[in-house]
Amino acid sequence: MRLNILLIFSSFLLSLSPHFISAQAVSFNVKGGLNLSNMAFEGPDAVNNSGNITTGFHVGAFVELPFNNKFGLETGLLLQSKGFKSEFTSSFFDPEEMDSISYSGDQTTSLLYLDVPILFKSRFAMGGMNLIASAGPYFGFGLSGTRFFEYTFEGQQYEEESVIDWGDNGDFKSVDYGVMVSIGVEFSELILSASYVQGLANIETINPEQNTTTHQNIMISIGFRLGNEE
């Protein structure tokens, strides 16, 4: 249902383009910056409602299709990290002790996605700069990921890493989608912005009918306008 709504909204935005793209120049920009990522968990198997924030990055290239001097449509390719941190507890059976032995530590899940945002963008002049705001859906695909474990056992510090397996029978489903909202300022070619990304896709693979796992991202970006194409 959520995906259907996003697809309808995206199709509506794209359908506006041929009719409302103005004679103004199409513009291009690139941006990159810091990601503050987390994941939300719901359901009977969820230990916590959310994890802890982990830091990452994003980098992307975009094209802006203007309707007029204030409104337009922006889309492009966005490579960005997602994931979360949390504490964990594990155990194993020790045949010598004939007992179960537990240990605990910290784990960081780091995921890399390629997202395609489709954003309705507005721009308003304020003195010597422009205030910009945008909102719309995004669609993404998981490219790679790892889980990194740090724990102490019997006085020794250990580190382990495992590779994320994508797919319905893996660690996470690879397809993601959701909504993105951004606000920022433009100083000529320089663009400063902050964005919030809320995943709507349930990427949970363990009993997804009852358990839900979604992405949450805060993006702090610096970008540069590359020029216009007349």
Q: Which residue has the higher pLDDT, 43 or 29?
A: 29
Residues with Cβ within 8 Å of residue 189, at least 6 apart in sequence: 224, 225
Check residue 8 and give its pLDDT: 46
Burial annotation 126-158 (CB, 10 A radius, 16+ → b, else e): eeeebebebbbbbbbebeebebeeebeeeeeee
Query: What percentage of residues in the chain have a pLDDT greater than 90?
Result: 62
Nearest to 62 by CA among 75, 49, 52, 71: 75
Distance (Å, rounded) from C-alpha 204 to C-alpha 207? 7
Where residue 101 falls among pLDDT bands split at 50, 70, 90?
low
Please report the pLDDT score of residue 116 as a whole number. Answer: 98
Residue 174 has a CB neighbour count (10 Å cut-off) of 19
The DSSP string of 91-139 is EEEETTTTEEEEEEEEEEEEEEEEEEEEEEEEEEEETTEEEEEEEEEEE
User: What Å distances lie between residue 172 and 10, 109, 132, 146, 195, CA to CA?
Assistant: 25, 11, 34, 11, 24
pLDDT band of residue 1 (cuts 50, 70, 90) is low
Residue 221 has, within 13 A of its CA and on its CB side, a CA count of 28
Chain segment 180-219, per-residue pLDDT in tens: 999 999 998 999 999 999 999 999 998 899 999 999 999 9
Q: Which of 115, 122, 118 is nearest to 137 (CA)?
A: 118
CB 222 within 8 A of CB 32: yes
Is 8 in a helix, a strand, or coil? helix
